[in-house]
Structure 1
Amino acid sequence: MIKNRIRLLPVLLLAVWVLAGCGHQVASADKASDGRLQVVTTLFPQYDFARQIGGDHADVSLVLLPGMESHMYDPTPGDMIRISEADMFIYTGAEMEPWAQELADSVDMSKVKVVDASSGVSMMKEEDEEHEHAEAEEDSAHAAEDSHDHGSHHHEHTYDPHIWLDMQNAIQMVKNIEDAFCEADPANAETYKANAEAYIEKLEALDSELKSITAGGNRRDVVFGGRFAYGYFIHGYGLEYESVYDSCSADTEPSMAQMANVINYMKEHHVKYILYEELSTPNVARAIADATGAQMLMFSTCHNVTKDEFESGVTFIDLMQQNADTLKKALE
């Protein structure tokens, strides 16, 4: 999927040049007459971080339409023009959005402050997550009878981009965005610093709550029946997991053997809940729930929100608080 998108980039970039050369204007990209920073972001976490930090001094927008699955997103010529005309462009990093770096290298971005929100974050390779998964299985009481076979699944040596699900990583992202705001608009730096500090305090409190929930739970394992994007969360909060999917790739579907393995695990370990991701049709999770009698619980990856949530002003903290409540229930 990513390779196909990269092949389309030259065509999209040519369209950007043509439209820009013809004086094409995108209304949402026009500089604000009131002097506010025009900030464009790719995913909901950095969108919310930026608006919390920028406050009244920034006009923050999200290129990903509410309700859209981020892994299926392709930038349009209009998106690229909007980005190239902004004061600041914040993206997650090359692993999540390889097109963003290509855009920065190919279009005139000399007047745009480009911010890689993942800077300074220790990235996890997806195969490392699978290794931890395998170790957790070996340590379980029923390891000798465990029929899971993860050796047949091969992944490219890529990094898991869902860094924001560990609150310590989210804090680093906030600091990166804070620094960018202060550099872009020194006159309001003190405001940005104060806003970031207040927001980081909320993230620290949420981090402590999640650790407390894990420590106080009756179990340490959770089962995912949807695309797996939770490696940082699992690692950050000392959990073990089972998943019918090995990654969040939309190009793979679980085999009957994988389904059977998860169903058997849930029955053997008396797992009462199965988690699935937002903005998806949870057919696999539903099938497993039907086979085990488990209850389905939505656990957000926070990459995007629904149209109603966006219009109501939902925040990253709101989504993660919902996740905390879900985790508490899942660990009963």
Structure 2
Amino acid sequence: MKKWIAGMLAVFMGVVSLSIPFAGLHTAEAGVKDTSDKKLKIVTTIFPEYDWTRAVLGEREADVELTMLLDNGTDLHSFQPAVKDIMKVSGCDLLIYVGGESDEWIEDALKSAQNKNMKTINLMEVLADSIKEEETVEGMQENEHGHKHEDEKEYDEHVWTSLRNASTVCDAIAETLTEMDPENKDIYQSNAEAYQKKLSALDAEYQNTVENAKQNTLLFADRFPFRYLTDDYGLNYYAAFSGCSAESEASFKTITFLAKKVDELGLNSVFTIEKSDDRIAQTVIENTKAKDQNILVLNSMQSITAQEIADGTTYLSVMEENLKVLKEALN
């Protein structure tokens, strides 16, 4: 996919450079005053960034044009930008993106950005001190289709699964909005602080749940994009694949290992992530002694849709629901 994106970006940029003068993006024809919408344009790539920005904006949300690129359920790792996506990135005032390997196309798009005064928030850079390398734990099937060179480090992109990381990013969003719109500094700072209190309260609930749990190990018959969450609370885990893996079929060796771990640890649940077809989880359970474990789902928020947002889904509501699921699994 990366090669395809790199090959098409040149074509996309050519289209962008030709089309933007006619797109009404902060332009005016000769002798005609520009009356186009002057709202601040903020583009986020994924749902957590979008929802954090909404929380910091608060009552100011109506005064900006806030866009989430991946709003149709496409997973971050399989997203292929269209011309309109690159145009949105190129012409926005503030871009908030993860900054990992899946965002390589953005780095290329920024080199040809039409708005030279654009500000960016790269989550991986903001959270530099707490970024973790991808790891392969015991029993995990290695990604056969990976493209990492031996001398390259591969970092775990799923930083948003940590409530503590969310709080840090909200600080960065508030600071950047203050720089861009200093007249409303108090609003952004106040909204960020109020939201961070909610994050902190939920963080404490997670900590209390884990400290009083009967179990401290999660087993995923799926990809595992929750390392930041488990590390926050000292949980152990086993998984079929790493969080960024492209694999969809587990080997007999992987299935057998996970089934034996379920038996060995006396686990009553096997996890999948959202939108999984559960096939691997069902096969793992079929190979355990009891064969009666529950299949539970933790939502990694990688494919939240615009419709779900319209129906009231928020970052906090997803994390609250994930906590309920954890309580069931750990007790």
TM-score bucket of the superposed structures, by smaller chain? 0.7 to 0.9
8 Å contact kept, 1:220–1:239 = yes
8 Å contact kept, 2:141–2:254 = no
**Counterpart in 2 of 1:46?**
49
d(CA) in 2 for partners of 1:201, 1:20? 42
Give the partner amino acid of 1:190.
D
Change (3 A) 1:87 1:246: closer
**Counterpart in 1 of 2:2?**
2
**Counterpart in 2 of 1:139?**
none
Give the partner amino acid of 1:56.
E
Give the partner amino acid of 1:278.
E
What is the correspondence of 1:139-218 to structure 2 with a 5 Å cutoff? Answer: 148=139, 156=148, 157-218=153-214
What is the correspondence of 1:1-332 to structure 2 with a 5 Å cutoff? Answer: 1-21=1-21, 23-24=22-23, 33=37, 36-57=39-60, 58-121=64-127, 122-127=130-135, 130=136, 133-134=137-138, 148=139, 156=148, 157-251=153-247, 253-291=249-287, 292-332=291-331
Uncovered stretches (5+) of structure 2, i.e. residues with no partner: 26-33
SS in 2 for 1:161: coil
CA RMSD of aligned residues (A): 2.4
State the Cα distance separating 1:149 from its structure 2 match. 7.4
d(CA) in 1 for partners of 2:238, 2:100? 28
d(CA) in 1 for partners of 2:54, 2:36? 15
8 Å contact kept, 2:96–2:123 = yes
TM-score by length of 2: 0.86
SS in 1 for 2:96: strand
State the Cα distance separating 1:96 from its structure 2 match. 3.7
8 Å contact kept, 2:222–2:272 = yes
TM-score by length of 1: 0.85
Change (3 A) 1:154 1:281: closer
Change (3 A) 1:283 1:110: same
SS in 2 for 1:39: strand
Uncovered stretches (5+) of structure 1, i.e. residues with no partner: 135-147
d(CA) in 1 for partners of 2:170, 2:46? 14
Change (3 A) 1:158 1:270: same
- Cα deviation 1:111-167 (Å, max 9, x = unaligned): 32222133331211103xx3xx34xxxxxxxxxxxxx47789796321001011111
- Cα deviation 1:58-98 (Å, max 9, x = unaligned): 33210112322221111111111122222211111143411
8 Å contact kept, 2:140–2:241 = no
Change (3 A) 1:53 1:261: same
State the Cα distance separating 1:298 from its structure 2 match. 1.0
d(CA) in 2 for partners of 1:72, 1:245? 16
Report % sequence identity.
27
Change (3 A) 1:235 1:31: farther
SS in 2 for 1:317: helix
d(CA) in 2 for partners of 1:185, 1:321? 32
Aligned residue-pair number: 310
Change (3 A) 1:111 1:204: same
Give the partner amino acid of 2:105.
W
Change (3 A) 1:240 1:308: same
Give the partner amino acid of 2:312.
G
d(CA) in 2 for partners of 1:152, 1:185? 45
8 Å contact kept, 1:67–1:279 = no
Give the partner amino acid of 2:80.
D
Give the partner amino acid of 2:5.
R
Deviates more, 1:307-316 or 1:36-45: 307-316
d(CA) in 1 for partners of 2:307, 2:225? 23
8 Å contact kept, 1:39–1:61 = yes
d(CA) in 1 for partners of 2:134, 2:301? 19
